Amino acid sequence: AQSVTQPDIHITVSEGASLELRCNYSYGATPYLFWYVQSPGQGLQLLLKYFSGDTLVQGIKGFEAEFKRSQSSFNLRKPSVHWSDAAEYFCAVGVTGTASKLTFGTGTRLQVTL
Amino acid sequence: DGGITQSPKYLFRKEGQNVTLSCEQNLNHDAMYWYRQDPGQGLRLIYYSQIVNDFQKGDIAEGYSVSREKKESFPLTVTSAQKNPTAFYLCASSITPPGIFQETQYFGPGTRLLVL
């Protein structure tokens, strides 16, 4: 079965600094990968997704992620963080040919200091 | 505007009581899902439905029940058999039933269930 690991439970960065959130997955074939963001008490908003093709994926709000098959990783990046980016970020993996089941990581909470 | 609505935003359950969480979507999506979110555990799938009048158990279905009588609606009942129901419940939908490729899931705003 597939699994997702987000090794960082909590990250603090200064406003204007760069950001990288780590995501590692375990799956035997090419996965479908997603990053979602959740503000406190809210639902999840899709930031970006990787299905196939170019391994560098651009998303909303200036985020990007790179799929690295050799490292089983799909890290999320942003060159300059804004205070409004403070939220919880979830990486998820989906598989082909099965019922539509996403497996989520446990999330990384991002705090932004001014 | 198209989207997913969940109601109520907060719900309180008494001991031995069944409660029902509402999820409605006007995106014309075929598939719908229910997740449970607990602190530090990410999201876990409770039930999902790929088409009307059909649904499947997810990873943590015990103590929950669902129905899918209409394409737009996928209510979740938390039964008295669910001994630890306090959590944040999220409903999601996707455009087509899964087949060759994975479709993106879109989420509602969630319902927080608390036990009195």
What pLDDT was estimated at residue B42?
87
Mutate to test the interface with A, among B102, B104, B106, B107 (most CBs of A within 10 A): B102
Q: List the one residue out of A50, A1, A5, A48 whose CA is nearest residue A25.
A: A5
Mutate to test the interface with A, among B25, B105, B106, B112 (most CBs of A within 10 A): B105
- Note whether A104 contacts B43, CB cutoff 8 Å: yes
Please, what is the Cα angle at A23 between A33 and A27, to 5 degrees?
Answer: 55
Instruction: Report pLDDT digits (tens) over B82-116.
Output: 889 999 999 999 887 555 556 788 999 999 999 88
Query: Does A34 score more than 80 pLDDT?
Result: yes
Query: Does A45 score more than 70 pLDDT?
Result: yes
Torsion over CA: B85, B44, A41, A83 (sign): positive
- Distance, in angstroms, between A80 CA and closest chain B CA? 26
Question: Parallel, antiparallel, or unpaired for β B54-57 and B111-115?
Answer: unpaired
Average pLDDT of chain B is 90
